[in-house]
Structure 1
């Protein structure tokens, strides 16, 4: 079976550099030290990085033209390198070391699923205890049950942990602190494989104990990887916006504000909406009933100047079920709401997965 990245070079120093870059991109790599050794993997490798030392030999072999060929060189000013790149059908020349960052991203991109992007939903509470985390967990659970590759992101460091809502606090896998130093492009495959999972749902939450806020760059890297590797990404965010949660709002296709059908809750939600509006492209309201004073969901939506995404009916069994570690959205009114809501979205876009086995 082919490797994700094929390195073709007999220059040991260049090979070491390219293997280091492949490790930084978190991709598998195979080395071919001459053109005949490269021939067997030439068609199937996701990306070929050919050293300029073997470019002439590759050209003489008349290998079939294909996309995804890069010539790596430490002599970018040599005209011969560019002529040889044309001869082997390379689309790019990577001048090292200046192009290292570009080449790492190129390696990572070549091994990612080919996909137009996940549907990304951010969820905010209009006031404390509005039920935003429960709705986020229920939407994610419902999405996973519908066969969507789903990622649930806990963006609220003071929320107690959305993994607790799902009964997945003991599941092995990475938490936010494991990504605290992460910047730049992150492999969606590596993200998926590192995270705890519950019923096919990948979850990124927090370790127990003291937590550090997530940097905006880290949030951007995680959500970008989620958009490339999943069908549905749901992010639970705090009401008090941080730089990281503003980044998440800017990434979201849609933001839902959850508000109980109460006057004080509606006033509080109006303030939250004012904070969110500058960052999100599509802000909608979810009203949680019943209304103790008869306040209508349509009236709340009109007063907040927000389109009504739907009404969540109360479920007396829900709180006890969560305490027992049973994921929300497995039945009852909340599941019905989530099914209707997700059913109204555009059909999931299924990526074509490259053969990455080796």
Structure 2
């Protein structure tokens, strides 16, 4: 995190309050100067300078520099643009219309340059009870073995909450719909401070779960969270509903890899075809995982052909895990098939990014 704070030069107290409100929303601390003369010592080295219209009227000769924004009330007029030219500003931001622009500029200071390696993975079941939530959690957990780690996002409001599956329903932290990023941009450091964590064998997995008694996330909120995770270099794994709505489609549109999970039976294959039809035609980034055992000896490659997706892998069930989850413990075996499949999914997502680059 960048500890150099943006400089706010504001005469208008109402405008100052608005700037500070947006800064707080993205977790950005600021430094204030009452006028341009007082701003001179910090003018060159501040990562971002925000100047309101009244302060810009000051007759102070300051060197030109990038990263200066003029903050105005409402749409700027010709006189405002003249002030902007005299002050050498980079852009004019009108509040409240351009609040998202201001939030983005402030969040960029907090986050610093985007880290490499960030990716988004969506996991959904080809039919109910396929084990998509369990596989999503295992994949996010596997991502925590390397820095900066994983982030698990529950996008299915009818699932009962992924926190309950983890045995972490009493862990403090925000759930949907408590998190509503109004600006459309989130700072990952600020987000991590508000989210609960699941801990397993020294690993710490932040997660965002749906609430059992509230609405699910909006498409805008999901997009803000997953993009924040990707910018921070994290692997964001999203547990998606089978019937894709706005939030689910927001993930699909951004995902580097989508995993469809089915049990090894023909009825599941038929159901999965209808699920896959919601994805359009993105088979270059969609893979199938077949979960055994197969009651009728259905070969995984035959199942993949029936669904119409490339097969990533097949995996056996960890029989003791369902019982442990019922007892409030999500304890996949460290060398078991579930975490191994999660590692395969991560490798496939990485390969997709390399090919796309």
Q: Tell me which interval the TM-score lies in, with the shorter structure as reference length.
A: 0.7 to 0.9
- Residues 178-327 of structure 1: pairs in structure 2 closer than 5 A: 178-179=178-179, 182=182, 184-199=184-199, 200-208=204-212, 210-277=213-280, 282-324=285-327, 325-327=329-331
Q: CA RMSD in A?
A: 3.0
Q: Per-residue deviation at 1:196?
A: 0.4
Q: Per-residue deviation at 1:197?
A: 0.9
Paired residue for 2:91?
92
Partner SS state of residue 247, structure 1? helix
Residues 175 and 263 of structure 1, relative CA distance in 2, 3 Å threshold: same
Residues 92 and 310 of structure 1, relative CA distance in 2, 3 Å threshold: same
Q: Is the 8 A contact 1:46 1:111 kept in 2?
A: no
Q: Is the 8 A contact 2:290 2:315 kept in 1?
A: yes
- In terms of mean alpha carbon deviation, does 229-238 or 121-130 score higher? 229-238
Counterpart Cα distance in 2 of 1:278 and 1:137: 26
What are the ranges of 5 or more consecutive residues in structure 1 without an aligned counterpart?
Answer: 350-358
Paired residue for 2:39?
38
Paired residue for 1:330?
334
Q: Per-residue deviation at 1:27?
A: 2.4
- In terms of mean alpha carbon deviation, does 53-62 or 155-164 score higher? 53-62
Q: Is the 8 A contact 1:139 1:329 kept in 2?
A: no
Paired residue for 1:118?
118
What per-residue deviation string (whole Å, max 9, x for no partner) do you get for residues 13-45 of structure 1?
Answer: 543443344345542222112445434433443
Paired residue for 1:172?
172
Counterpart Cα distance in 1 of 2:147 and 2:27: 27
Paired residue for 1:355?
none
Partner SS state of residue 245, structure 1? helix
Partner SS state of residue 78, structure 2? coil
Q: Per-residue deviation at 1:7?
A: 0.5
Within the candidate set 67, 80, 83, 1:81 is matched to 83
Q: Per-residue deviation at 1:123?
A: 0.7
What are the ranges of 5 or more consecutive residues in structure 2 without an aligned counterpart?
Answer: none
Paired residue for 1:50?
51
Q: Is the 8 A contact 1:6 1:45 kept in 2?
A: yes
Paired residue for 1:71?
70
Paired residue for 1:129?
129
